[in-house]
Amino acid sequence: MTGASPNAPTRAAALGPTAMAAADWQPALSRAFARVEVSVRDAAWTGSLTTTRLGSLQISDQTSGPVAVLRDQASVAADPCRNIVARLQLDGTARVFQDGRSVELPPHSLTFLDLSRPFKFVLPRPQRARTLMVPRSVIGLEEGALRRLTATLVSPEDGGAGALLLPLLADACLDLPGASFPVRERAARVVADLLATLAADHATRTVPEDGRSATQPLFDRITASIEASLGDPDLSPRAIADQHGVSLRYLHQLFQRQGDTVGGWIRRRRLEAARRELARPDATRRAISAVATQWGFVSASHFSRTFRDAYGMSPNQWRAGQLPTAVQCSPPAAGSPPRRRP
């Protein structure tokens, strides 16, 4: 059975709500998301599922009695799907298992599931939940950070973006099926952005066993690649994001967590490299414009303005100020009197 793709043309398609018996729940979930197996013990069990699809975003509201839902490796192989699901528990509780972790969701909390890998969730009592499904590209995280998100708790009590965004997601798109097309289109983008922001914020708060920030290895790789490309005048946040397979939004958030900006980091490292170059003993043999070009500045005048703003002097003044030190450090010729500072 093939899961519904959230990449269909933008439309509001309300499927339900329809009361379902236990035998209907498995095919309904498999159509809405991806192939799963369902286990229900109560013969009188009922549930309902309402699904709204808006372009790349799918929002589903679920109510059900106690049930266990499993997507095993056989289901993944038979029905491949790479979408990401955020499950927001509204009433009741859920126990979610994926990637060797498990988390219990109390009301008003959320967790992420990756449909490309096996998972299980158990609903021990009657419950109500909202799920938001998007392609993984909408989330914009690199694979390592994305894998660390699954089956982890996002709670408003933890502060950060969750405190602000979880209530908004709980009320998201309640009346969209009857709204006009432009309203639905804008609302879908807003909800997808909220979800991506929540994922990026939670990724920075998820700390692996070695105690480092979950995103620190990615930040280190990105800054190392920037260092190797400082001389490229076309180096830009968009090019960096594309090189590392992350969204532009997420790239900016990585640097914001370090108290910096992408452009500011690049500019500072270029200036530091150019300043070192101008302090070399043979610096007078090179034109200021050549140093500017070497370190990725678009022109000598732009380099001079940026240098003065950062250091309070022009590149020429900085270079001249280093000359006595360079002369003093040079060994005197044989038979010559020692040199003195003027």
Q: Quick one: pLDDT at residue 16?
A: 46
Q: Is 331 exposed, middle or buried (0-12, 13-18, 19+ CB in 10 A)?
A: exposed
Asked if 45 contacts 67 with a C-beta cutoff of 8 angstroms, the reply is yes
pLDDT in tens, the chain (342 residues): 344 444 433 333 444 456 788 889 999 999 999 999 999 988 889 999 999 888 788 999 999 999 999 999 999 999 999 999 999 999 999 999 998 888 899 999 999 999 999 999 999 999 999 999 999 988 888 888 888 889 999 988 777 788 888 888 887 655 565 667 777 778 888 888 889 889 988 887 765 544 455 567 778 889 999 999 999 999 999 999 888 877 888 888 888 777 788 999 999 999 999 998 888 888 788 899 999 999 999 899 999 999 999 888 999 988 888 765 434 333 444 444 444 443
Residue with tokens 């106690």: 66
**Rounded Cα distance, 215 and 197, in Å:** 14
Question: Please, how many CA atoms are within 13 Å of residue 92, restricted to the half-sphere of its CB?
Answer: 18
Given this model, what pLDDT does residue 174 score?
A: 57
Task: Kindly state the helix (H) or strand (E) to which residue 49 belongs, with its residue range.
Answer: strand 46-54
- What pLDDT score does 206 carry? 65
> Do residues 166 and 108 lie in contact, with contact meaning Cβ atoms separated by under 8 Å?
yes
Neighbouring residues of 129: CB distance < 8 A, sequence distance ≥ 6: 61, 62, 87, 88, 89, 90, 92, 94
Q: Is the pTM of this model over 0.75?
A: no
What was the pLDDT predicted at 217? Answer: 75
d(CA 39, CA 304) in angstroms, rounded, equals: 70
CA distance 177 to 17: 13
**Residue 222, Cβ neighbours under 10 Å: how many?**
22
Half-sphere exposure of 117 (CA within 13 A, CB side): 16
Backbone conformation region of residue 259, classed left if phi is above 0, alpha if psi is from -120 to 50, else beta: left
Closest CA to 268 of 309, 300, 298, 240: 309
- Residue 172's pLDDT is 64
Say what the pLDDT of residue 336 is.
Answer: 44
Going through 72-136 in order, the beta strands assigned E by DSSP cover 83-91, 94-98, 101-105, 109-114, 119-123, 127-135
Report the candidate in 222, 146, 145, 187 with the shortest Cα–Cα distance to residue 55.
Answer: 187
